[in-house]
Structure 1
Amino acid sequence: MDEKISLEAIAQYGDAYADKVLKAFFSSKEKITGPEILTLCNVQQVNLFVIRELFKAWREETRKQKSIYFDNGNPEVKEALNTYMTVLSNHISVDRANFAPLLKKAVSQTLLAIFNPYDFFSMLIVGKENRLEVSAFREEIKYLKVNKAPLERMLHKLEEKNTTEIQGNEAFAVLDQILEEVNFTPEDLDDYIARFSQVVPLDPASFFSSKAPEPVRQPEEPRSLFSEPVVRENKPMSEKKVPVHETKTEPTLNERMNKVKQPEVIDSFRKIARIKDNLSINQKFMFTKVLFYGDFESFSRAIDDLDQLPDMNAALHYLEKHSSTWDRDSKEFHEFMEMVEKRFS
């Protein structure tokens, strides 16, 4: 993708946001309690992710305490541990030094879940050693409020089949099917941007890496993305030498696709019956975010419309009408058009 989420940029903003929150809270207190964590930030998802990290740490410490000399599976022992956990949850007390990394991680994960749900879903689904443990997955999404519907449905399907573990690629296939069933559309960003900006101004564009520059084929006349196009002097037709970078008018969509339809390119394509059935989860999120501006419903409608068309000319006519605002130099555009070409080749 030309536009890719930058985990470093997210982490930098997360640190700045967390530092402001930490400074405001710990200016008058030495430790923070459970109830205070739940109301600490104006973005509730951040607070819930902090609580999730605390309980994950508690479970890990509990595992370390297990002994070969005791029956940890005994119902009375399990009940006692659950009671202990309930009591412990009401007596959370964390100082600033230990709380800071929890908060920073929670902010970063919240931003990822909001601005790039596909990558966030991927992190949850892959799990350990490319396997998804259903019990751990259930605990993870218990604290998730943002873009949660597909994962809840996925958990329900896995539990219906009494699945305890599933391979990562199988999990992605299940999620892919669910995204179609629920017609998933990522939540609106405006409210989250406003809430985060109350603490630290947030520019969503800063989370995405800029488009990679085109390779320079000749050293002369390097071009900036913001410079005016270089207009070269026209040479008489009788002259044999023609500049390599001749200024040309922008080709139409049909002209672009005619270039793709060269025999050597077509031969490398595998004709597909429907675009909808051959899109990966990654492509769905990528096309939705970049070409359809986050509107999954519009994306799904366009794919359905294209699959119903009779031939390539009809598809090109449809896209000329509906894709006027797309960046036709982007990799997303070209990858999308490759799928269209495979459908009608």
Structure 2
Amino acid sequence: MSNKFNSSSLTEYCKSYARKVAGEFFAHHTVISGQELLKLSAVSQVNLFVISSLSEKWRSDAERFRSPYFDFEHPDVRQAMQVFMNTVSQHISVRRDHLEPLLAEATRRTLVLLFDPRYYFDDILRNQSDFSLSAETAHQLTRYTQINKFVPAAIEERMKGKSSVYVNQALNWLDEILMQRGRELEKPDKYIPLFSEKVLLDPAVLLRKASYEHVPQPTVFTPNKSFFDTDIETTVPPVPLAAPSSNGFEPVVNLAPPDSESSVRPLFLDDSGPAAEPAAPSMQPSQMPTHTSDVSTLEVSPKTEEPAGPVTIGETFYRAPIESISKSISLNQKFMFINQLFNGSAASYNEAIEQLDHATSYEQAHDLVTNRYSAQYSWDMNSDEVGMLVEILKRRFA
């Protein structure tokens, strides 16, 4: 949870808002349709987040139809599944007891997006499975974001057709976007009256004191399309909704052409190349000058010309190639890595070492260290522990 909020106050407000909005609608209705959901709240972002939740459930339900006993990749089956799921999506029908939790969660997400956008996007990125951001996920994030939409749109643009990127890279882009375009972030002021129409929204109650001091005071039915592909009429440019997952059947995409305000241009330069390798701790002992009985005749050679000296048996062992990372790590090193690099989690350590052991090259293993684990576990790349692990990787792929 964002530390800007008073957690209990935020939870209570979201429940109260959802109860009020749902109560007014269901006083005259038994269920709510997709078209009615789009107009339920005066804050369009809340409605979008509700639709987003339904879209995720719709996509997961589609996957449940898959079975090892039938050919779901056959063209006839794929087509039939697409028509069926699209038709189902056009007949959304939600009862109050199912809607209120979705509405409360959508309200919470909207308030966090408004008052702490940096935390909102950072939290989404860090919670991606396998610590990687797929192109499909980035696209869905842009689809369902209306407030501060330029942030996910710029991340999606930055991916430039890549199927996925490490979350560490996406987080770097997020920092750059907010640094360069932070002034474009929407102010909460214009949304506070919209929320207050139903339940009074007082930032002084919702936010912690230190945070509050910094806060500035109809869809057309098309049978052959999914409801989640239709455009939404709001006070901002239309936002296209989700398409069926390509894993289950062919997606149907109907993206509205961007206007001058929502068009996104590349913001950053291309990658300059792989990250520089962290400096590994030296295994070479310091060379001391050889003293003679006649101190006056001692000659001190320049440091750059200092002889390396003989290599000891211990150094030869520690530089020798190894076949397995896990087997080459001593018990003391293992405990040190678990405690210092993996937050005390032996399971996380074992999973990471197994993935590193299955890497096909030093570059691939080093990429996992610098672009995945370092961000996932907040490593200091100049620490002795990371340097020791990198040294083991060098021996593994020597």
Normalized against structure 2, the TM-score is what?
0.50
Establish whether residue 97 from structure 1 lines up as the match of residue 110 from structure 2. no
Which residue number in structure 1 is paired with residue 250 of structure 2?
none
Which residue number in structure 2 is paired with residue 46 of structure 1?
46
Aligned residue identity for 1:87: T
Which residue number in structure 1 is paired with residue 170 of structure 2?
171
Residues in 2 aligned to 1:83 and 1:200: alpha-carbon distance in whole angstroms: 41
Aligned to 1:4, the other structure's residue is in SS state coil
CA drift of 1:45 comes to 0.8
CA drift of 1:291 comes to 6.3
Aligned to 2:154, the other structure's residue is in SS state helix
Q: Deviations over 1:67-89 (max 9, x none)?
A: 12333344544443333333222
Aligned to 1:86, the other structure's residue is in SS state helix
Please say if residues 151 and 177 of structure 2, whose CA atoms lie closer than 8 Å, have aligned partners that are also in contact: yes
Residues in 1 aligned to 2:135 and 2:107: alpha-carbon distance in whole angstroms: 25
CA drift of 1:95 comes to 0.9
- State which drifts further: 79-88 or 94-103: 79-88
Aligned residue identity for 1:203: D
Aligned residue identity for 2:144: Y
Aligned to 2:165, the other structure's residue is in SS state strand
Matches within 5 A, 1:39-118: 39-118=39-118
From the superposition, tell whether residues 10 and 141 of structure 1 become closer, same or farther in structure 2 (CA, over 3 Å): farther
Aligned to 1:132, the other structure's residue is in SS state strand
CA drift of 1:61 comes to 1.5
Aligned to 1:137, the other structure's residue is in SS state helix
From the superposition, tell whether residues 8 and 73 of structure 1 become closer, same or farther in structure 2 (CA, over 3 Å): farther
Please say if residues 62 and 85 of structure 2, whose CA atoms lie closer than 8 Å, have aligned partners that are also in contact: no
4+ aligned runs moved over 6 Å, structure 1: 289-292
Please say if residues 150 and 178 of structure 1, whose CA atoms lie closer than 8 Å, have aligned partners that are also in contact: yes
Residues in 2 aligned to 1:292 and 1:32: alpha-carbon distance in whole angstroms: 35
Aligned to 1:147, the other structure's residue is in SS state coil
Matches within 5 A, 1:1-345: 4-126=4-126, 127-158=128-159, 160=160, 162-210=161-209
More contact order relative to length (CA 8 Å, sep ≥ 6): 1
CA drift of 1:199 comes to 0.6
Please say if residues 58 and 89 of structure 2, whose CA atoms lie closer than 8 Å, have aligned partners that are also in contact: no
From the superposition, tell whether residues 6 and 128 of structure 1 become closer, same or farther in structure 2 (CA, over 3 Å): farther
CA drift of 1:154 comes to 0.7
Aligned to 1:101, the other structure's residue is in SS state helix
Normalized against structure 1, the TM-score is what?
0.57
CA drift of 1:19 comes to 0.5
Q: Deviations over 1:290-316 (max 9, x none)?
A: 76969xxxxxxxxxxxxxxxxxxxxxx
From the superposition, tell whether residues 3 and 94 of structure 1 become closer, same or farther in structure 2 (CA, over 3 Å): closer
Please say if residues 150 and 184 of structure 1, whose CA atoms lie closer than 8 Å, have aligned partners that are also in contact: no
From the superposition, tell whether residues 26 and 291 of structure 1 become closer, same or farther in structure 2 (CA, over 3 Å): closer
Residues in 1 aligned to 2:120 and 2:27: alpha-carbon distance in whole angstroms: 33
Name the larger-Rg structure.
Answer: 2
Please say if residues 124 and 137 of structure 1, whose CA atoms lie closer than 8 Å, have aligned partners that are also in contact: no
Residues in 2 aligned to 1:50 and 1:293: alpha-carbon distance in whole angstroms: 27
Residues in 2 aligned to 1:42 and 1:14: alpha-carbon distance in whole angstroms: 15
> Matched residue pairs, number?
215
Q: Deviations over 1:267-303 (max 9, x none)?
A: xxxxxxxxxxxxxxxxxxx9xx976969xxxxxxxxx
Aligned residue identity for 1:130: F
CA drift of 1:183 comes to 4.6
Q: Deviations over 1:202-258 (max 9, x none)?
A: 0112222245xxxxxxxxxxxxxxxxxxxxxxxxxxxxxxxxxxxxxxxxxxxxxxx
Please say if residues 52 and 144 of structure 2, whose CA atoms lie closer than 8 Å, have aligned partners that are also in contact: yes
Q: Deviations over 1:87-115 (max 9, x none)?
A: 22221111111111111111111111111
Residues in 1 aligned to 2:149 and 2:95: alpha-carbon distance in whole angstroms: 31
Aligned to 1:5, the other structure's residue is in SS state coil
RMSD across aligned positions (CA): 2.5
Aligned residue identity for 1:197: S
From the superposition, tell whether residues 67 and 13 of structure 1 become closer, same or farther in structure 2 (CA, over 3 Å): same
Aligned to 1:56, the other structure's residue is in SS state helix
Aligned to 1:170, the other structure's residue is in SS state helix
Residues in 2 aligned to 1:291 and 1:43: alpha-carbon distance in whole angstroms: 23
